[in-house]
């Protein structure tokens, strides 16, 4: 491994980082869409658009503004599939054939201008103080010239500059081309995937599908166990009508065999299955491990409901109120740094954010939905049944993944409710 070292980054940190076989390493020249790719990967792996600040769950390994002990403690505590970022070229990274490497490149002149703007906006004194507190004073080589601020002179400086790479650049066009070359030489490895910023800009949907394919089938099977439960519920509800009990049991048996095969073949699926079995220990620690740290979140939600029993802490106020009710304040959470964003359970979400008043309104809505179903004709029920099943599994209490007071899931639930009501109460034209 080649050593890259400069003011802000030191690739030696990779020697002490304990990789897991399912880790994802996002490696780019700076200002090439790094945070964009981190967000895409985070949404796919966590199966949510509601992510905490990306640097709290996907840190820059080489960045010398926090100690290795602090950095690795946060990463070691993560139970979900991890994804980290780096600006170190590929030849400065440890290679693990089971780790997924995602490289993103961008037009070098776009990179140069974006890096210039970043440098002009950076809080230099604060950055220097953080760096010196962790790694000591940095002595800049005398031959390193500071780049000009004006656009045209800066671009000329970028093109002509031959400053050696430091792992946080590019410091110039030569540095940029050397870094891209390390990705290009590794492009034939099955776990190395190259993306271009322009492709992401022009065809985001297609590029996100490519990212999903790079991350593997595990994002379908291990992304959210709540999805397994809801899929099984839909299959149970509709399957007995279409197949009968004997054939339906055969389908479930086939599913169990396939899950066992995937668990044998995929470390990520195996880890999810093994973690789920911790529930069988019946101990508090085992249950919390099976729930990926949700017991801590549920404890905070119950605290909010106790202290705000009427109106709760406000819709989407969970993250602001979390610290005051966190039962393990100061301890590194299973999901990484930062507060939990929602209660991860429908009843607790309603009680903690909108209190008893909100719960009464939800129950009133459920009663109205049931009353409409009860007095509807068979033809209307047949029309409304798909929407009813989708709505039922969406609000199923064991579905611990959704945040109903978020824009996306709240909007989806309202659309399903509208489809259910329209299908059930609509009248055929005479």
Ordered DSSP codes for 194-260: EEEHHHHHH-HHHHHHHHHHHH-THHHHSS-HHHHHHHHHHHHHHHHHHT-HHHHHHHHHHHHHHHH
Return the SS3 of 190: coil
Give 63's DSSP letter: B
Whole-number Å distance between alpha carbons of 317 and 354:
9
Show me where the domains of the chain are located: 11-216, 223-284, 291-430
Q: Which CATH architecture has domain 11-216?
A: 3-Layer(aba) Sandwich (3.40)
**Sign of dihedral through CA atoms 82, 83, 85, 90?**
positive
Whole-number Å distance between alpha carbons of 179 and 9:
15
Task: Dig out the tokens for 412 from the structure.
Answer: 């989806």
Residues 10 and 135 sit within 8 Å (Cβ to Cβ)? yes
Enzyme catalytic residues: 87
pLDDT of 178: 94
Task: Tell me phi and psi for residue 80, to 5 degrees.
Answer: -80, 170
Taking only the tens of pLDDT, the chain with its 430 residues reads 999 988 889 999 999 999 999 999 999 999 999 999 999 999 888 878 888 899 999 999 999 989 999 999 999 999 888 999 999 999 999 999 999 999 999 999 999 999 888 888 888 888 889 888 988 888 877 777 788 888 999 999 999 988 888 888 788 999 999 999 999 999 999 999 999 999 999 888 789 889 988 987 444 444 466 667 777 777 887 777 777 888 888 888 888 888 788 778 766 677 667 777 766 665 666 666 656 678 889 999 999 999 999 999 999 899 999 999 999 888 878 777 778 888 988 899 999 999 999 999 999 999 999 999 998 888 898 889 888 888 887 887 766 767 888 887 888 889 999 999 998 887 655 4
Whole-number Å distance between alpha carbons of 52 and 188:
34
pLDDT of 94: 96
Whole-number Å distance between alpha carbons of 381 and 149:
68
Whole-number Å distance between alpha carbons of 199 and 207:
7
- Alpha carbon distances (Å) from 62 to 5, 14, 72, 213, 259: 9, 7, 11, 27, 38
Task: Tell me phi and psi for residue 128, to 5 degrees.
Answer: -60, -40
Whole-number Å distance between alpha carbons of 256 and 134:
50
Ordered DSSP codes for 350-369: HHHHHHHHHHHHHHHHHHHH
**Can you give the length of the chain in residues?**
430
Task: Dig out the tokens for 68 from the structure.
Answer: 């290795």
379 CA to centre of own chain: 42
Whole-number Å distance between alpha carbons of 279 and 272:
12
Whole-number Å distance between alpha carbons of 193 and 349:
39
Residues 360 and 81 sit within 8 Å (Cβ to Cβ)? no
Whole-number Å distance between alpha carbons of 373 and 420:
10
Strand partners, 86: 27
State the burial class of residue 333 (Cβ atoms within 10 Å of its Cβ: 0-12, 13-18, 19+).
buried
pLDDT of 313: 95
Three-state SS string over 367-429 comes to HHHHHHHHCCCHHHHHHHHHHHHHHHHHCCCCCCCCCCCCHHHHHHHHHHHHHHHHHHHCCCC
Return the SS3 of 184: helix
The whole-model pTM stands at: 0.58
- Single out the residue of 276, 349, 288, 361 nearest to residue 319, CA to CA: 349
What radius of gyration, in Å, describes the C-alpha atoms of the chain? 26
């Amino acid at each position: 491994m080649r050593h890259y070292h400069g003011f802000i980054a030191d690739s030696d940190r990779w020697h002490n980082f304990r990789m897991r076989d399912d880790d994802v390493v996002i490696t780019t020249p700076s200002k090439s869409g790094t945070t964009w790719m981190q967000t895409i990967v985070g949404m796919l792996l966590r199966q949510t658009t509601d992510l905490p600040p990306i640097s709290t769950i996907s840190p820059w390994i080489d960045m010398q503004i926090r100690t290795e002990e602090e950095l690795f403690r946060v990463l070691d505590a993560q139970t979900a599939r991890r994804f980290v970022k780096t600006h170190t070229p590929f030849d400065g990274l440890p290679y693990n054939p089971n780790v997924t490497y995602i490289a993103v490149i961008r037009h070098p002149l776009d990179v140069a201008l974006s890096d210039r703007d970043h440098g002009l906006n950076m809080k230099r004194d604060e950055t220097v103080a953080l760096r010196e507190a962790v790694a000591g004073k940095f002595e800049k080589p005398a031959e390193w010239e500071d780049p000009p601020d004006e656009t045209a002179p800066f671009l000329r400086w970028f093109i002509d500059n031959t400053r050696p790479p430091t792992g946080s650049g590019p410091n110039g066009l030569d540095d940029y081309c050397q870094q891209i070359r390390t990705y290009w030489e590794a492009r034939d490895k099955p776990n190395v995937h190259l993306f271009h910023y322009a492709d992401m800009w022009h065809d985001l949907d297609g590029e996100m599908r490519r990212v999903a394919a790079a991350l593997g089938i595990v994002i379908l099977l291990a992304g959210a166990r709540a999805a397994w439960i809801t899929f099984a519920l839909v299959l149970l509800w509709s399957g007995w009508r279409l197949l009968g009990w004997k054939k339906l049991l055969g389908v479930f048996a086939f599913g169990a065999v396939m899950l066992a095969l995937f668990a044998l073949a995929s470390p990520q699926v195996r880890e999810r299955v093994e973690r789920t079995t911790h529930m069988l220990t019946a101990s508090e620690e085992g249950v919390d491990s099976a729930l990926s740290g949700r017991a801590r979140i549920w404890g905070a939600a119950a605290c909010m409901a106790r202290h705000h029993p009427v109106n709760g802490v406000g819709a989407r106020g969970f993250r602001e109120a979390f610290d005051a009710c966190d039962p393990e304040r100061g301890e590194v959470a299973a999901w990484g740094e930062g507060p939990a964003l929602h209660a991860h359970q429908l009843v607790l979400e309603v009680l903690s954010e909108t209190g008893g008043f909100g719960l009464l309104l939800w129950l009133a809505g459920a009663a109205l939905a049931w009353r409409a179903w009860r007095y509807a004709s068979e033809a209307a029920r047949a029309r409304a049944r798909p929407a009813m099943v989708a709505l039922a599994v969406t609000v199923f209490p064991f579905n611990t993944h959704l945040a109903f007071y978020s824009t996306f899931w709240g909007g989806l639930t309202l659309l399903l409710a509208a489809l259910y009501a329209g299908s059930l109460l609509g009248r055929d034209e005479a």
